[in-house]
Amino acid sequence: MRRRDRALAKISIEPIADESLGVRSMALYADIAGLKILFDASVSLGPERYGLPPHPEEFKALAKRREKILEKARQAEIITVSHYHRDHYTPPYPSLFECTGGNEYLEIYSGKILVAKHPSEKINPSQKERARKFFKAIEGRTNEIHLVNDSLLSFGDTKIESFLAPHGENLGYVLCFIVYFQDKAELAFLPDVQGPYSNDVLEKITKIKPRIVIVGGPPTYLSGSKVSKDAVDRGMRNLSRLYAQLSQESKIIISHHLLRDPEWREKLESYGIPGNSIKTYSDILGLPYTGLEAYRNFLFENNPPPSNYREILEALKKERARCDKLFDFLEK
């Protein structure tokens, strides 16, 4: 059936991985009137939190979510890369904290239409280098590649708009996406916008009013340390405005940095957003919020791994092993 023959826009979304499911990611699968898109196909763990490495429970969640990404990538036609942080694109090498053995990137991106952030414009040096290596590795493997910063791509009656947004205060830019079906904004995917931090992004989204808005929340857990208090406050105020202006007609789903803070609900409340009115990926899946990194200190306290755990992790990193191998060690 040709896409233009579909009478009604049938939309479904399936959260694949994020902090509410115990990992770092915003991976989302969406079927917009038959166009199957996998947004930001990767997953990662925070290397250090409360002075601790990821707990074995986090590695279990990571392995599970990595499998899910591989499964959904097989079904997707289009895969996005919003920016070149490893929780948003699967790197072409083995990596313990991303649970890659080295070939997953080929399973994910081969034969797909890639819509990716431009690798050399409006990008910082570290991401530029990662992008260069990534595109060298996937050369000739994909079906189509669209390297974009601002664009509107058409796939039958479905259009994908992309535009740049600041990755918070000082981490360069990320690509945001709005998917339209027959010119109606169905879905906005706003990864790592940190609130949004940008007033322009807030204005654009509140004007367009997409039916579903997936937004990366501010990194409250880094406020006053790696990120300035002002930047976090601005992100929270903008999130509050987004909520006030859109929550009647749009479904707002909050993901990512904010959910690494064990007090995220209280912090939303303090900016006038009722904590229980906000949806997370885990809510959409009917699961409880399972913020493992947020509670890593308690995980170590209540269920301590073996005393040589750090050495095991170091040995696995050196070996360039996939994260599953850790489970063999722990069972011994």
Shortest distance in whole angstroms from residue 116 CB to Fe ion: 15
Q: How many CB atoms lie within 10 A of CB 231?
A: 20
Residue span 32-71 as binding mask against Fe ion, x where in contact by CB under 5 A, dash where not: ----------------------------------------
- 3-state class of 148 per DSSP? strand
Minimum CB distance to Fe ion smaller for 55 or for 256: 256
Cβ 162 vs Cβ 149: under 8 Å: yes
Rounded Cα distance, 27 and 41, in Å: 5
CA distances from 110 to 99, 177, 225, 239, 308 (A): 19, 22, 40, 36, 39
**Which tokens sit at 239?**
């999130």
Shortest distance in whole angstroms from residue 167 CB to Fe ion: 8
Rounded Cα distance, 208 and 165, in Å: 16
Subset of 297-326 contacting Fe ion (CB under 5 A): none
For 241, list phi and psi in degrees, rounded to 5: -65, -40
Task: Give how many residues touch Fe ion by CB under 5 A.
Answer: 2
Minimum CB distance to Fe ion smaller for 35 or for 294: 294
Minimum CB distance to Fe ion smaller for 58 or for 87: 87
Sheet of strand 151-155: strand arrangement: 151-155, 158-166, 173-181, 184-190, 212-216, 251-255
Q: What residue type is assigned to position 332 of the chain? A: K
Among 19, 87, 157, 293, binds Fe ion (CB under 5 A): 87
Shortest distance in whole angstroms from residue 143 CB to Fe ion: 26
Shortest distance in whole angstroms from residue 108 CB to Fe ion: 17
Q: Is 104 in the site for Fe ion (CB under 5 A)?
A: no
Residue span 176-195 as binding mask against Fe ion, x where in contact by CB under 5 A, dash where not: ----------------x---
Minimum CB distance to Fe ion smaller for 87 or for 157: 87
First to last CA, the chain: 54
Stretch of 52-60, 85-93, 164-172, 274-282 contacting Fe ion, by CB under 5 A: 85-93
Shortest distance in whole angstroms from residue 159 CB to Fe ion: 25
Return residues touching Fe ion (CB under 5 A): 87, 192
